[in-house]
Amino acid sequence: MTSSFEKIEHIGIAVSDIASAEITYSKMLGVEPYKREKIFSQGVITSFFKVGDNKIELLQAISPDSAIAKHILKRGEGIHHIAYLVSDIRKEMKRLSDAGYLLIDTEPMQGADNMLVAFIHPKSTGGSLVELCESVV
């Protein structure tokens, strides 16, 4: 079995107030966010922090029908998804779909931080929302 999974790209954290969460994370990590970005297709504002080789992505909903707003209503703030860097997202989507994983997206979408992204439903991963990311820089 061949896989193009390379590493954990980031951990996504759902927050209800990104400005206040940025202050909390800046104080905790001792660094400022390096990027804040609106992703209209996903209805979110994102803010990224570097932690060594790793990244934390804060996500705030910009509309009440966004997945982040629904997540916070259901489960409150906190860890929302684990994102993996893959070298070939279409290949991984096909491989995982063929293996019975439930993909939320049928095509990769433009995500935050110069990535093509696609999500795998938590139902098929043991309860955690999984994001696949392929760098498009």
Residues binding Zn ion (CB under 5 A): 12, 57, 83, 131
Is the CB of 92 or the CB of 131 nearer to Zn ion?
A: 131
CB of 102 to Zn ion, least distance (A): 18
Is the CB of 11 or the CB of 95 nearer to Zn ion?
A: 11
Q: Which residue is nearest to Zn ion (CB)?
A: 12
Is the CB of 8 or the CB of 97 nearer to Zn ion?
A: 8
Give strand ranges (E) for the chain: 5-14, 35-39, 44-51, 54-61, 78-86, 109-110, 115-120, 129-135
CB of 1 to Zn ion, least distance (A): 25
Residues with Cβ within 8 Å of residue 52, at least 6 apart in sequence = none
